[in-house]
Structure 1
């Protein structure tokens, strides 16, 4: 078992959505319940931007603006002016939902899913923002989570957390369409809950386990766990590859819901961790907002 190292003791309520910004060589991440978008230098220096709503996910646009999934829909955020512009709320009729995990595909489409906070199971969905328009991609979700595209850009992986399943979809990267899904891994109950996810250049998945205290490397072809990375926080939320050589795994965690006694046992919960996995992984793409 490997062990992750603490990079930044953020003490975030619910750190999530790590995205490596190649151009600026920094990690962008969100604190969902803290309502912030953050930019973390590999040396450990963090820049925080506060918003008025919970921030489920954030990606950079090719223009430099940031695109976010919030409580009430998708927005564009201007870093310099700190202005927030509404794009679209596909779930105006579902006030008990909020946006959760999201990232861009290799063609610059922004995929972002919602989760049910107060409502019926299966009442969330995965959406795609492309060319300024929002379409529905997957329905019947409850907690839309981990997303990953394989290196050949032919396969899309997706997690709806309560199912404990990782699904694989044939993916037409030119059209941005999904084929029929198949389940490639089902996490046992004692693993915790599969949350955020990334993929390495060997086609293996790195999955964060909320209430599981680790990231697991999983082979989707034979449904085997190949490696477990221990993290000094029970609630591990997501991970992505970054660094100059894309060989560092950045890991986010949360501390929300933990008692004072529990936090004494894991004082770095809510921190950002790193791990050197010995493989390189998927880059983080930007949203194509050039139109």
Structure 2
């Protein structure tokens, strides 16, 4: 088993949503409960944090500058320099029992993000897609905790996690239209400790899945569900991961702070492990 190294001991309440900025060579990540968007510079070890006033589940770069955010009540355009927030969509108006969670862009520059149920009846959340023209589309319903998603462009597939199902779902994915169909269970992770959370994919088409309350990231072969590699993290609540670095051989891992009474001095930190395999880049929103 590989061991991830601590690169930022920031003690985030709920670190999430890492994506790599190829231009600046910095990692963008969020602290959901801390309501912050962060830029971490591995070359200096410095982290710049901006409070956005609401819980933030995901942040992605935008072609025309700035970021697209998934906040409590929907999608926003955000200018980190001025702090300006522009509300673009509220996909679930009037729903107080959900908040938005994980999200990322597909290879064609569409922004995908899902909601999660905070209280009340399960399966009332959903997965949404915002296209570069600003149009909004409901892509999946009956969700409880929308989490990791990833695209295998070469094979025309999308993978998706609703954490409570403890399985990785697979769809046929049309990169030209953004449509998904033929949902099936790619494989189950019920035998793993914790629940599946964020996810990324490497250049060999293998999936790297973070396990919340599992203390690790696991590399799976998606066709069989076979475990190929494990990365131990010095924090039980591992939330997500993404590839970065100049050669995309570095896997950055976000975590959440430990519960009171748990002895995890580095929980909520940002971790990294260098791998022999490279991974896909973080895509930008094309709108």
Scaled to the shorter chain, the TM-score interval is: over 0.9
**Structure-2 separation of matches of 1:86 and 1:120:** 28
Q: How does 1:62-73 map to 2 (within 5 A)?
A: 62-73=63-74
- Which sections of structure 1, spanning at least 5 residues, go unmatched? none
Which of 182-191 and 23-32 deviates more? Answer: 182-191
Give the structure 2 partner of residue 269 of structure 1. Answer: 267
1:58-105 Cα distance to aligned partner (Å, 9 max, x none): 101001211111111111111221111100101013111010000000
Give the structure 2 partner of residue 285 of structure 1. Answer: 283
Q: Is the 8 A contact 1:153 1:173 kept in 2?
A: no
Q: How does 1:194-213 map to 2 (within 5 A)?
A: 194-213=196-215
Q: How does 1:92-103 map to 2 (within 5 A)?
A: 92-103=93-104
1:21-78 Cα distance to aligned partner (Å, 9 max, x none): 1111110000000000000011321111101110011101001211111111111111
**Structure-2 separation of matches of 1:49 and 1:244:** 25
1:251-286 Cα distance to aligned partner (Å, 9 max, x none): 000015x11x31xx2101000000112100011000
Give the structure 2 partner of residue 84 of structure 1. Answer: 85
Task: State the Cα distance separating 1:182 from its structure 2 match.
Answer: 1.4
Q: How does 1:141-180 map to 2 (within 5 A)?
A: 141-152=143-154, 154-180=156-182
Q: Is the 8 A contact 1:106 1:153 kept in 2?
A: no
**Structure-2 separation of matches of 1:104 and 1:13:** 24
**Structure-2 separation of matches of 1:218 and 1:108:** 26
**Structure-2 separation of matches of 1:106 and 1:23:** 17
SS in 1 for 2:182: coil
Task: State the Cα distance separating 1:126 from its structure 2 match.
Answer: 0.4
Q: Is the 8 A contact 2:153 2:175 kept in 1?
A: no
Give the structure 2 partner of residue 132 of structure 1. Answer: 134
**Structure-2 separation of matches of 1:163 and 1:23:** 37
SS in 2 for 1:92: coil
Give the structure 2 partner of residue 29 of structure 1. Answer: 29
Q: Is the 8 A contact 1:125 1:140 kept in 2?
A: yes
**Structure-2 separation of matches of 1:165 and 1:173:** 23
Q: How does 1:14-25 map to 2 (within 5 A)?
A: 14-25=14-25
Q: Is the 8 A contact 1:30 1:56 kept in 2?
A: yes
Task: State the Cα distance separating 1:242 from its structure 2 match.
Answer: 0.4
1:218-270 Cα distance to aligned partner (Å, 9 max, x none): 001111111111000000000000000011000000015x11x31xx210100
Task: State the Cα distance separating 1:119 from its structure 2 match.
Answer: 2.4
Task: State the Cα distance separating 1:132 from its structure 2 match.
Answer: 1.1
